[in-house]
A and B are shown apart, each in its own frame.
Chain A
């Protein structure tokens, strides 16, 4: 596809359920980012991959959050034992370059997670 693709677009989970969110970055993009966007707020950084290496996971809010990108392409963000405060839009972004923030990041449509 031409852009970053995320699935599912919407997810409703019962509290305590595990969820997995998928991101297909633009082909050939080295860098992949996950952001969390709560209602009425800007996106907040969660984690960063350079190819398959997870170089920064400082933004993950708890050890219930786990991300992987095993082959340096598709990435999955997993949230275990979901809580109501996990309700947010989860954005994935990819960029061609690595290391520098001034390489343009292309965003997916996001996955809206609602925990009930």
Chain B
């Protein structure tokens, strides 16, 4: 069965500093990887997915199949980036998402 690990529960950075959220997965095939974000008092929403190769709100994530990782990065954190971030995985021809436990990011002024 597939599994997603986010080793950091909490991450605190200063405004303007780089931020990296770690995500590792275990799955023997080719997964689809996603990052979801939940801002305070808002619903869970998709931030980005690896197949689209987009940069959303300055965030990027690269799928590294050799290291089975999908770390989320932003070179200059902003206060509005403070939120809960979840890494998620789905597998080919499946429909459900497997989520990590989440990382709470706090960006300090």
Give the number of residues in B that approach A within 8 Å (Cβ atoms). Answer: 25
CB distance from B45 to the nearest CB of A (A): 7
**Closest residue to B90 on the A side, CB-wise?**
A101
Bound: A110/B45 CA distance, A: 12
Residue B57 at the A interface, CB < 8 A? no
Enumerate chain A residues within 8 angstroms of B102, measured Cβ to Cβ.
41-42
The number of residue pairs between A and B whose CB atoms lie closer than 8 Å in the complex comes to 66
B80-107 with Cβ < 8 A to chain A: 86, 88, 90-102
Q: Are B44 and A44 in contact (CB under 8 A)?
A: no
Task: A91 to B95: give the CA distance in the assembly, Å.
Answer: 16
A31 CB contact (under 8 Å) in B51, B88, B95? B95
Docked-complex contact A45 and B98, CB < 8 angstroms = yes
**In this assembly, does B74 line the interface, its C-beta being within 8 Å of a C-beta of chain A?**
no
B95 pairs with A43, CB closer than 8 A: no
Task: State the Cβ distance, A20 to closest chain B Cβ, in Å.
Answer: 21
* Complex Cα spacing A109 to B45, Å: 10
| Chain A positions 105 through 116: 1 when the CB is less than 8 Å from some CB of chain B, otherwise 0 | 111111000000
Q: Collect the chain A residues with CB atoms within 8 Å of residue B9's CB.
A: 40
Q: Binding site of A, secondary structure by majority: helix, strand, loop or mixed?
A: loop
A18 interface residue per 8 A CB criterion: no
Q: Mark A2-46, 1 if CB is under 8 A from B, else 0.
A: 011000000000000000000000000001010100001111110
Say which residue of B4, B43, B45, B91 sits within 8 Å of A101 (CB atoms).
Answer: B91
- Does B99 lie within 8 Å of A42, measured CB to CB? yes
Give the number of residues in A that approach B within 8 Å (Cβ atoms).
Answer: 29
Distance between A3 CB and nearest chain B CB, rounded to angstroms = 7
A104–B98 touching, CB < 8 Å: no
The answer to whether B93 touches A107 (Cβ under 8 A) is no
CB neighbours of B97 from chain A (8 A):
33, 35, 43, 45, 101, 105
19 contacts between A and B (CB under 8 A): A3-B43, A4-B43, A35-B97, A42-B86, A42-B88, A43-B44, A44-B99, A45-B96, A45-B98, A48-B96, A56-B95, A99-B93, A100-B93, A100-B94, A100-B95, A101-B94, A101-B97, A102-B49, A105-B97
Taking beta carbons and an 8 Å cutoff, which residues of B are in contact with A?
Answer: 4, 6, 9, 32, 43-46, 49, 51, 86, 88, 90-102
